Structure 1
Amino acid sequence: MPLFDVYPLYDVTPVSGKGIHVYDDKGTEYLDLYGGHAVISIGHAHPNYVQAITNQVNALGFYSNAIQNPLQRELADKIEALSGCKDYELFLVNSGAEANENALKLASFKTGKKRVVAFKKGFHGRTSAAVAATDNPNIVAPINAQQEVTILELNDVEGVKQELEKGDVCAVIVEFIQGIGGLDEASAEFFEEVDALCKANNTMFVADEIQCGYARSGKFFAFQHYNVTPDIISMAKGMGNGFPIGGILIHPDIESKYGMLGTTFGGNHLACAAGLAVLNTIESENLLENVNEVGAYFIERAKDITQIKEIKGRGLMLGLEFDFEVGGLRKELIYNQKVFTGGAANKKLLRILPPLNIEKAHVDQFFDILKLALKEVEQTVN
C-alpha cells in the first residue's frame, strides 16, 4: 500500500540518534540542528529519557483517564515549579494542534463567544479551529473555513482593539516567536496592550508556546519575556523529546466542568514518563542556562558571516536570513555537509532549532561547515 503523498521528502533515512547527532541507514553521521521541528529538546536517546520510558512500559504503558494517574499530577507540579506559572491547571493531550484546538474551545466555553483573532504568518495546527486560525489558505479546507477567524498584522494594536470591541471575539491567539512563519516577533508594547485589551473585553489571551516554549527561547515560556498573563498557554513540541504529548495550562479564573474537554490518549502513563524525563533533565543539566549561553554564542558567530543579512529569534530558536532563497543551501547542508537545518514560510530564512544541550563546539563546527556550504552554493549560482 503506498503512503498518502503529502510530504516532499529528503532522500535520507535516519535509523538512530545520540545526543545532537543522527545516523542514517548507511552509518553516516549528521549534525542535527533542527531537532525534528524543535521536538528533540534533551538530545536523541538521552539515558534519562530511555530509562524512564523503559521502566514505565515495563510497568504500565497505558490506561484511560477514567482512573487515577499520579504521574499526571507529578508532571503538573514539575511544570509549575520550572515554569513559575503558579496556580494554572493542566490538561494533557497528544499534539500541538490538539492543544490549540482545546485552548480555543475552552475560550469559547468561557466567554460564550466564537470568533477568533489571529495574526499573519501564524501557524497553530492542522485541526479544525487551529487551522482556520493559521495564515495559510492552502491548508484550510472548506469545512475548516466555516470557523469565524479574523487575521490581522502583527503589531496592529488598533486592529485588535476594533475587533475586540465588537464583542464577539472569544480568543486572541499568538505565537510570541513565530515558528514556520519565520521567527518574527511583535513588540513588547503590542503584546502587553493586547493582554490588557483581552482582559477589558472578556476575551481569552492564548499564548501558543507549541514551538517557542519549554525553554527554547531562553525562558521557560516565550511570553515570559514580556509583562503579560495569558489565560491559556498551549505547549507540545519539546515536552516529550519525541514522544507525542501536548497540553494547555489554564488560568484558575476558567472553571472546569465534567465533560467539557476529553481525550483517550492524552496524559497516558508513557507520555507522562517521557514528559517528566524531559523536565528533570532540563533542571538537572541547567539547560535554560545553556540555551542562553550557547544561543548568545551562536549569534556572535553568525555576525561573522557576511552573507547573513539578519539574525532572528531568541535562545535556541534562531533564524539566519540571507538575500537569496535557502532551498539550495539546505540541500547542500544535508546531502554534502551532513547537517540538518529547517526552512520557513520566509524562503530566505534558515531555521535553527537544535537540542537544548548543544555545545559551543557544535556551533563552531556548524559555522565552519556553513562557510563551505555557502561557497559551494555561490559557485553553483555563478
Structure 2
Amino acid sequence: MKLFDVYPLNNITPVKAKDCILWDENGTEYLDFYGGHAVISIGHSHPHYVKAIQEQIQKIGFYSNSVQNPIQEQLAENLTRISGYNDYKLFLCNSGAEANENALKLASFHTGKDHIIAFKGAFHGRTSGAVALTDNPKIVAPFNAKHSVSFVEYDLEEIQKIIHEKEVAAVIYEPIQGVGGIILPTDEFVQKLREICTANNVVLIADEVQSGYGRTGKFFAHQHSNIQADIITIAKGMGNGLPIGGILISPEFQASHGLLGTTFGGNHLACAAANAVLEVIEQENLIQKADEMGYYISRALNRYQRIKEIRGRGLMIGIEFEFPVDELRKNLLHKHRIFVGNAKSNIIRLLPPLTMNKAFADKFLQALEEEIVSHS
C-alpha cells in the first residue's frame, strides 16, 4: 500500500532534532524556521518536555476521557494562570480542525442559529461539522445544508448587513491569518467587531490554533486588541508536536452531558505534554522572548531590498516579496539548510520555535540576504 499523495514532500528525512536544529539520516544539519506550521513551540526534544512524556507513558499513557483525569484539571489551571481567562472552561480535543468544529457547534447550540461569518483568506481546519471552513473553492463543500457560511472582507458594514439578514450564530476570525499570508485586521476593527457581536447575540470565536501560545508576544494574539472572545480555539503549539487541541469557553455557555464529545481528546499523555509546554513557556519567559526576537528579525528585514511588506507579530512573520518565492524557498532549504514556509506565491512565512535566539536569526537573515542579492 502507498501513501495517499495530497501533500508535496521535501526529499529530506529528519532522524534527530534538538531546539531549532534538525539532522537528516546523513548527518546534515538544518535550521528549523517553520516548526511544522507553528507546532514546535518550545523547541525540538526539550528535556523537560521529553521527561514529562516518558514519565507519563510509563504510568498510564493514552487513557482518555471516560474517567477522572487530574492532569486535565492541572492543564486547565495552568491555562487559566497564563492566559488570563480566569472564569472560562476548557474542553479538550485532538486538533485545530476539531477545536473549530466544536466551537461552531457550541455557538449554534447556544444561539439557536445556524449561519457563520468567516473572513476571506481564512483557514479554520478542513471541516467544521457543517462546512469546510476555508474560502478555497477546491475545498469548500457543505456537509449539512442547514448550515451556511459567508466569507467577507474586513468590512464592518457588510458584517452588520449579513447579521441583519441571516440567523448568524458566530463570527470566527484569525487574529493573524496564517495560510492567508500573515494578514492582520486592525485592533480598531477587532474592537468594533466585538461590539457588533455583543449587541446582536453573535458568538465571537478567536481561532488561535496557529497564533496562540505566546507566539505573538502575548499568550493569545487577540489580546493585542484588548478584547475577550467568547470562544478561543487552540491546538498547534499546545503539545509541541504531540496532537492535542481545545477550546476555552465563556461562562455564558452552559455545559450538559452529551453536548460535546471526543474519543482521544484530553488523554493523559497529551495533557502531560501540554502541561510541560506551559511550564517551559513560563520558566524560560518564552512569550517575552518571542516578542523580542520577532522585533529583532523584523527590524533587520527592513533594510533588505525587494521586500514589499513585513507583517505579523512576535515570531509569526510574513515577508511579502516583489517576486514569486518558490525558487527562493528551495534555495534556503537546499543551499542554506533552512526550513521556512510560504503563503500564496510571493510570501515567506516564519513560524520558528519560541526558543529562537539571535545566532539562529542571524544565520537565517544572512542566507536570505544572499538569496535576495543573487535574485536581483
Question: TM-score if structure 2 supplies the norm length?
Answer: 0.97
Range 211-220 or range 131-140, more displaced: 131-140
Is the 1:308–1:320 Cα contact (8 Å) retained in structure 2? yes
Specify the SS of the correspondent of 2:58.
helix
2:202 matches 1:203: yes
Match of 1:309 in 2: 308
Match of 2:2 in 1: 2
Distance apart, 1:374 and its partner CA: 2.6
Residue-by-residue CA offset, 1:41-92 (whole Å, 9 max, x unaligned) = 0000000110000000001112231210000010001011001111000000
Match of 2:18 in 1: 18
Is the 1:206–1:232 Cα contact (8 Å) retained in structure 2? yes
Is the 1:183–1:318 Cα contact (8 Å) retained in structure 2? yes
Specify the SS of the correspondent of 1:207.
strand
Distance apart, 1:98 and its partner CA: 0.2
Is the 2:236–2:245 Cα contact (8 Å) retained in structure 1? yes
Percent of aligned positions that are identical: 55
Give the unaligned 5+ runs of structure 2.
Answer: none
- How many equivalent residue pairs? 376
Runs of 4+ aligned residues of structure 1 deviating over 6 Å after TM superposition are none
Match of 2:117 in 1: 117
Distance apart, 1:376 and its partner CA: 4.2
Is the 2:115–2:168 Cα contact (8 Å) retained in structure 1? yes
Letter of the 1:17 counterpart: A
Is the 2:114–2:169 Cα contact (8 Å) retained in structure 1? yes
Is the 2:42–2:354 Cα contact (8 Å) retained in structure 1? yes
Is the 1:39–1:242 Cα contact (8 Å) retained in structure 2? yes
Q: 1:222 to 1:360 in 2, by over 3 A?
A: same
Letter of the 1:312 counterpart: R
Distance apart, 1:139 and its partner CA: 1.5
Matched ranges for 1:1-382 at <5 A: 1-129=1-129, 132-141=132-141, 143=143, 147-154=147-154, 156-344=155-343, 346-378=344-376
Question: TM-score if structure 1 supplies the norm length?
Answer: 0.96
Distance apart, 1:188 and its partner CA: 1.6
Is the 1:320–1:350 Cα contact (8 Å) retained in structure 2? yes
Range 162-171 or range 329-338, more displaced: 162-171
- Structure 2: how far apart are the matches of 1:238 and 1:33? 14
Give the unaligned 5+ runs of structure 1.
Answer: none
- Structure 2: how far apart are the matches of 1:130 and 1:228? 27
Is the 2:305–2:372 Cα contact (8 Å) retained in structure 1? no
Residue-by-residue CA offset, 1:151-178 (whole Å, 9 max, x unaligned) = 1002x00011111123500000000100
Distance apart, 1:133 and its partner CA: 2.6
Q: 1:142 to 1:89 in 2, by over 3 A?
A: closer
Q: 1:79 to 1:308 in 2, by over 3 A?
A: same
RMSD (Å), alpha carbons: 1.3
Letter of the 1:93 counterpart: C
- Structure 2: how far apart are the matches of 1:142 and 1:118? 15
